[in-house]
Amino acid sequence: MSTHHQSQTDDTSLAIIVPVLNEIKTLPTLLAQLAVLRRQKTEVVIVDGGSQDGTANAARAQGFRVIDSGPGRARQMNAGARATRAEGLLFLHADTRLPDNALALISQALKSSPLAWGRFDVRIEGASRLLPVIAWFMNRRSRLTGIATGDQGLFLNRELFIRTGGFPEQPLMEDIELSKQLKRVTRPICLRARVTTSGRRWDERGSWRTILLMWQLRWAYWRGVPAEQLAARYQ
């Protein structure tokens, strides 16, 4: 069994890129997860966008590689991709946890083609009873449209990332925009294994309010409203 796992991680080396900004509260859980993944022959880079709460120093103190970048999740993720060498890339949000067998699943998916990309299904953790319903709709919509959101743990081969130009450096919807570019090359591999992401946004602002806001923003973006304008409403 161990030799099989060894060959999987060796064949498709993976870099995990985590953009962070003022994540001191989520850091213990995040670093615990990353420590396990780092032991499994993966590159891990944390990209700090100018945290004021000691996030970067706390991660460095635990021996993690942290690079500094200008603020903006897209810019941070592009900087992380440039700073790594592995053939496979996984972009992970600070408040998202991977399933136990994530590396094997990603490795298998990325081996299927040099231009492969994909994402996980999502489970949202939090107080609101609506969160399982929201997650179900997110997963279903993603399967139907071939669009992945950052919460779903987007992964792809570096060759494809370079070919599509990486994340567009805009303040919102960068994951949707990249998905559109990737989808022109090939459909995503939609893994049924679930990442667990935080429902803090829904819990803090109210589920219905947040759902409504998200739909309004997506609709406006689809109609061509610039991401810069929408970002102000999302704050």
pLDDT at position 229, please? 74
Spell out, as residue ranges, where the chain has pLDDT lower than 70. Answer: 1-12, 230, 233-235
Give yes or no for a contact between 17 and 42, defined as CB atoms under 8 angstroms apart: no
> What is the amino acid identity at position 25?
K
Cut 0.75: pTM above it:
yes
Radius of gyration over every alpha carbon of the chain, rounded to an integer in angstroms: 17
CA atoms lying within 13 Å on the CB side of residue 194: 13
Cα–Cα distance, 197 to 220 (Å, whole number): 25
Cα–Cα distance, 33 to 190 (Å, whole number): 22
pLDDT at position 108, please? 95
pLDDT at position 79, please? 97
Angle of helix 73-82 versus helix 174-185 axis, rounded to 10: 50
Domains of the chain (ranges; CATH) run 2-200 (3.90.550.10)
Give yes or no for a contact between 88 and 11, defined as CB atoms under 8 angstroms apart: no
Q: Are strands 117-125 and 66-68 parallel, antiparallel or unpaired?
A: unpaired
